[in-house]
Structure 1
């Protein structure tokens, strides 16, 4: 059940502190709280709950605010709750009306928050926040340059620069190897055999032998070697496959004797299904002497993760979700995400159309790398008057004009901005290692990262606008003081204060 909050957007002055006083209006959390339209998206969040049944759920502002705080500070779920309990600004950010020394919710609730707030809602909110900022900026420019009659006569032309690129958000898993994955699968089958045997009513039946001690020794004999040979690795894989096959047969026999899979938990049963698929894939790879297979499982606990071949220096293969993003005016958006590998060049048209839907016009130029410059994309952009970066198709000319060299250099410099955004997300935020375990919660965590990056950009730009206004005023007073009869010491002090 969801109860709509009476006050989703309270002023910072109305927040009650235990020892009096008021919250500072220039605090970063107060500024970010004013940027987010909480009430506009509350109805969409409340639609997933029942109107009458169930316990009252936490408000949309509290759920999304807690996820933003966790991502902004780069902390764990438990530390997020502790930070909210200790900081009145964070309590105001999640919609509380007064300071409380008690935790507003348990740390486990953040898992439910990531399940309830899906990627579509986060992306929609992200674009709405940036759209409001851009519209207010365009209104000022239009009023100063054009009149209303000219706007009605002239249709909007292509404007702006759109930057596209793709990256990978690695998941929090150990580097997968075939031998290590089979060893984990074998250990899980042994656990299931113990549970099923203990559930049998007839204790006179002899427990199946699993040879777990011998299997572990055979695994460590090769796993501890720094550089095992191919022959040694294949022999160890064959042994682990035989152990898993024997254990799966024992599980089937225990079920025929009366043991039920209902004695297993949901997680154990899902892992059993994953083990069966891992055995099938690894057996096919061993028999056919191959190194790749379709929909290859690389993690027993997170079977949705796939290997993403990137070809980067030091990281030829990454294990996580592949994402396609767009960037313009310093803001970055998550357009496409998938656990399977895909060709990002197929997203160019939809990304350009999303740019037009947000701004009302096509971009003047699209800055992409080589994989996007297909014939289809080039012709599609040419029909709409969009210049795509990079050299034209065909043999490169012998003599290139200085203007074209300068244009190519500028295009590469512009495209570097989205690489910087990926670096910011992976170094400063959690895009470099996604700690969420479930597929839908991991996708939500990645979308929250893009939202927090845009909020950080907005806050930093407001700060720099304030500094520019402050230094302009200070420079006026310093020039006035220098012309007056103020003593030199005072003038020097003022000038030092005015320096950036």
Structure 2
């Protein structure tokens, strides 16, 4: 059984008031709901969520709206479903006919939906946010001719990596996995490892780095002994190492072998895909996450392309893939691309002109246009401050790709909501000028009785 729209799932109830009669139709979320083509989501996703047994699948509009609201208001999966019960505008935006007092779904349903729709589905969400911005008048069609490219880092939700902490945690995880597999170890080094990790932190705080390195060597030696003990006991039993024990053993061996000058270092045991990226910032010299390429329009700053770039590639090598995504999402190939000096030495595809900052001997028109390159910087700042780009909680490299796309969609919707809010305030101000008596808030209030 496939998904059903909200109006088909609930019959008309004479004893309940519909949401359209409760809310203000001038609200920006109400207008935004009318700008999005929700039927396209049903046609696109309903065949993927057909359920032959059990309860019917959740409505596609509900799940798409929850993903939008999560990234517009920078909330977690748990917080967005809890606030959904309290906000009638959110329920109207999700396609509900009557106000509901129960949760729309379990928060884990959002996790499964992201996994089911994948990167293609999140690109679909970003593309529809661009279409809604075009319908709302936030951008014009000719704005797609000039885009700005830049890269940033989407930090992962991990603790700051230190050698002492990583080595001790790897030993603890490996000991626990061996015990679950029924392997009795000669020694677990639990007391020694905990004391060495704490002492290494004290020595680092006191800037006594030789003593700190001595404690780290103790931790590395303990981890190596546990690794060899697990391998010997597994061979003696005659069984092949598999499952969780194999994964823990591979991570422990990788961490035990890496040194200061090693490549492809391990910075988090639960997120091996995390990379250390140096962006040259004084406040954060190094960031731990994944590089993200961003494409925005030069005039308005609307996100027209956003994707993760694992492997920390050179910025110039991301141009072709990023422009390809812009063409897929917007159906339009830009003619001019503005970028900073990190994109030097790159030849863009034919028919596209790449203009780099600080380029000399440019015509006055292109010099003026190049000043719009800085528009991408505050847009990235807004996505990190107002959105969820500052910390990624999704798992794996796939989670990095989905998170980047959804952050771009949330930024576009925030721009649309702000645009609609300004239009509504301008319309109210115009009414105040035309008829200040009838349009004032006190005009609709009942007058007190006299006598």
User: What's the TM-score, normalizing by structure 2?
Assistant: 0.82
**Aligned CA distance change for structure 1 residues 440 and 267 (closer, same or farther; 3 Å):** farther
2: CA distance, partners of 1:50 / 1:122: 19
- Structure number with greater Rg is 1
Q: Secondary structure at the match of 1:86?
A: coil
Deviations 1:137-188 (A, max 9, x none): 699x99xxxxxxxxxxxxxx99742111110110111111122211111111
Which residue does the alignment assign to 2:187? Answer: 209
Equivalent of 1:277, from 238, 245, 254? 254
Which residue does the alignment assign to 2:227? Answer: 248
- When structure 1 is superposed on structure 2, of 163-172 and 302-311 the one drifting more is 302-311
Equivalent of 2:344, from 348, 357, 373? 373
Which residue does the alignment assign to 1:388? Answer: 355
Which residue does the alignment assign to 2:290? Answer: 321
1:8-23 to 2 correspondence within 5 Å?
A: 18=16, 21-23=21-23
Which residue does the alignment assign to 1:498? Answer: none
Which residue does the alignment assign to 2:407? Answer: 449
Which residue does the alignment assign to 1:64? Answer: 64
Which residue does the alignment assign to 2:2? Answer: 3
**Aligned CA distance change for structure 1 residues 164 and 15 (closer, same or farther; 3 Å):** farther
Q: Which runs of 5+ in 2 are unaligned?
A: 441-451
- 8 Å Cα contact 1:222-1:232 kept in structure 2: yes
2: CA distance, partners of 1:56 / 1:208: 53
- 8 Å Cα contact 1:309-1:317 kept in structure 2: yes
Which residue does the alignment assign to 2:106? Answer: 106
State the Cα distance separating 1:458 from its structure 2 match: 1.4
- Determine whether 1:45 maps to 2:45: yes
2: CA distance, partners of 1:130 / 1:375: 28
- 8 Å Cα contact 1:193-1:247 kept in structure 2: no
1:179-218 to 2 correspondence within 5 Å?
A: 179-196=164-181, 199=182, 208-218=186-196
**Aligned CA distance change for structure 1 residues 33 and 261 (closer, same or farther; 3 Å):** farther
Q: Secondary structure at the match of 2:290?
A: strand
Equivalent of 2:149, from 164, 174, 192? 164
- 8 Å Cα contact 2:307-2:322 kept in structure 1: no
Which residue does the alignment assign to 2:370? Answer: 411
**Aligned CA distance change for structure 1 residues 236 and 17 (closer, same or farther; 3 Å):** farther
1:234-313 to 2 correspondence within 5 Å?
A: 234-258=213-237, 270-280=247-257, 282=258, 285=259, 291-313=260-282
Note the aligned Cα RMSD (angstroms): 3.7
**Aligned CA distance change for structure 1 residues 436 and 16 (closer, same or farther; 3 Å):** farther
1: CA distance, partners of 2:14 / 2:237: 63
- Determine whether 1:460 maps to 2:396: no
User: What's the TM-score, normalizing by structure 1?
Assistant: 0.75
Q: Secondary structure at the match of 1:327?
A: strand
- 8 Å Cα contact 2:339-2:355 kept in structure 1: yes
**Aligned CA distance change for structure 1 residues 384 and 31 (closer, same or farther; 3 Å):** same
Q: Secondary structure at the match of 1:421?
A: helix
- 8 Å Cα contact 1:320-1:339 kept in structure 2: no
Q: Which has the higher contact order (CA 8 A, sep 6+)?
A: 2
1: CA distance, partners of 2:342 / 2:413: 30
1:341-380 to 2 correspondence within 5 Å?
A: 341-352=312-323, 355=326, 363=334, 365-374=336-345, 376-377=347-348
Equivalent of 2:378, from 420, 423, 429? 420
State the Cα distance separating 1:476 from its structure 2 match: 6.1
Deviations 1:452-484 (A, max 9, x none): 111111122122233444545655679xxxxxx
Which residue does the alignment assign to 1:94? Answer: 94
Q: Which runs of 5+ in 1 are unaligned?
A: 143-156, 201-205, 286-290, 479-489, 495-500
